[in-house]
Amino acid sequence: MANERMNLMNMAKLSIKGLIESALNLGRTLDSDYAPLQQFFVVMEHCLKHGLKGKKTFLGQNKSFWGPLELVEKLVPEAAEITASVKDLPGLKTPVGRGRAWLRLALMQKKLSEYMKALINRKDLLSEFYEPNALMMEEEGAIIAGLLVGLNVIDANFCMKGEDLDSQVGVIDFSMYLKDGNSTKGSEGDGQITAILDQKNYVEELNRHLSATVNNLQAKVDALEKSNTKLTEELAVANNRIITLQEEMERVKEESSYILESNRKVTKDRTADGHALTEARKQLKEETQLRLDVEKELEVQIGMRQEMELAMKMLEKDVCEKQDALVALRQQLDDLRALKHELSFKLQSSDMGVKQKSELNSRLEEKTNQMAATIKQLEQSEKDLVKQAKTLSSAANKLIQKHH
């Protein structure tokens, strides 16, 4: 990790130095097609990726430096503008693409050095994203942040909407930084030794980068082979499942045919049951109508019975009244008989004339006979009333028995 940090720092030095010299010699505003500028962003991307805590995925590790760059707006409020601009760009779909856009906007704003210094000074926040021996956590990161101050002398202008930052491959072109020792200006030995050491470090970093690329590709190949094997097994299982489903479908078709035939039979049975039900309903309707007629007749009979009971009560009352009258007449008859005896006795003992007594006696007997006839008539009327009451009672009992 120490060698990697040293090599990345040397590459950043040469990239920043070459970019400044070429931009000053060019004498115009730089755009995204300028090769030294493209290589500078590639080197910065490698520096920011060094020592990242990546999440394990199916094809290896997924490392993105957008997370730490997104923290800058909390440390420097001026960075909120470019962070919001990056999030609003419609063409960016990956965190890597957003990180690349952020670096370009920070360079255009000439605040890249300030933002990187503010981020490096907060090791407590960076520890969430980087390993303890990552470049951003060590002294080399602070040196690179200081070197970025020199980029404030150049002007750059980028069009983010037309550039595909998500799918760019960040490969360092080491040939841009390898120099021929004979063409180096000056004859001082220290300069030659430094150039040779720098070339040695670049070659080592190139080899390390190529080795890492080969390892990543080999890991991807192994993962694809495992995935292919797994997919083959899943395909075999799927074929077996398809065969099972086909057999199940045939069985379901047979069951459906049987169920359809059964439904047809049930439909026929239901039709026969429907006719029987219609007949039963018709019969029930007739019986219901007959019952209603019987109930009406019963109500009429009950009314007649009530009328007959009322007539019987009136007859009984009349009988009672006539019995009372008969008792009163018998009492009067007894009184008359007593009077007759008394008159007879007086007649016998009195000195009245026989003729007068005889006439009086005749009148009394006539009166007595009339009263006896009246009594007989009342007794006959009483018998008739009793007979009529018995007849009415018998008729009422017959009506009650007929109703039950």
Q: What is the pLDDT of residues 104-153, one digit of tens each?
A: 888 888 888 898 898 899 888 888 888 888 888 888 888 988 888 888 88
What is the domain-level CATH number for residue 347? 1.10.287
Query: Residue 59 has what pLDDT?
Result: 45
Q: Is the dihedral of CA 77, 81, 82, 83 positive or negative?
A: positive
Q: Is residue 121 part of a domain?
A: yes
Q: What percent of the chain has pLDDT over 90?
A: 2
Task: Kindly report, residue by residue over 341-390, the tens digit of the pLDDT.
Answer: 888 788 777 666 677 778 888 889 898 899 989 888 898 888 888 888 88
pTM: predicted TM-score of the whole model, two decimal places? 0.45
Beta bridge partners of 55: 62
Is 118 inside a domain boundary? yes
Domain count within the chain: 2
Instruction: Assign 60 to helix, strand or coil.
Output: strand
Q: Is residue 266 part of a domain?
A: no
Last residue of a domain, one of 177, 204, 231: 177
Domain contains 252:
no
* Distances 324 to 130, 328, 348, 381 between C-alpha atoms, Å: 134, 6, 36, 13
pLDDT at 187: 42
Q: Which domain holds residue 163?
A: 2-177
pLDDT in tens, 45-101: 888 888 888 655 444 445 678 888 888 888 888 888 888 888 888 778 888 888 888
The pLDDT, as a whole number, for residue 82 is: 87
Q: Which of 116, 149, 177 represents a domain boundary (last residue)?
A: 177
Tokens 């040779």 identify what position? 196
- C-alpha to C-alpha distance for 136 and 141, rounded to whole angstroms: 5
Q: Per-residue pLDDT tens for 263-294?
A: 888 777 777 777 888 888 898 999 899 889 88
Amino acid letter for position 260: L
The answer as to whether 95 is a domain residue is yes
Please name every residue paired with 156 in a beta bridge, in sequence order, or none if there are none.
30
- Shared domain for 23 and 172, answered yes or no, is yes
**End residue of a domain, out of 140, 160, 177:** 177
244 within a domain of the structure (yes/no): no
Please name the residues in contact with 344: beta carbons below 8 A apart, sequence gap of 6 or more.
361
Residue 190 pLDDT class (50, 70, 90 cuts): low
What's the chain's average pLDDT?
A: 81
Does residue 370 sit within a domain?
yes
Instruction: Centre a 10 Å sphere on the Cβ of residue 387 and count the other Cβ atoms it contains.
Output: 10
Regarding whether 153 and 8 lie in a shared domain, the answer is yes
- Do 162 and 15 fall within a single domain? yes
Beta-sheet strands, E only, within 208-338: none
The 3-state secondary structure of 145-213 reads: HHHHHHHHHCCECCCCCCCCCCCCCCCCCHHHCCCCHHHCCCCCHHHHHHHHHHHHHHHHHHHHHHHHH
Q: Which spans in 27-79 are helix H?
A: 35-49, 66-70, 72-75
CA atoms within 13 A on the CB side of 142: 6
pLDDT of residue 180: 40
Query: Does 160 fall in a domain?
Result: yes
8 and 151 part of one domain = yes
CATH code: domain of residue 107 = 1.20.58.900
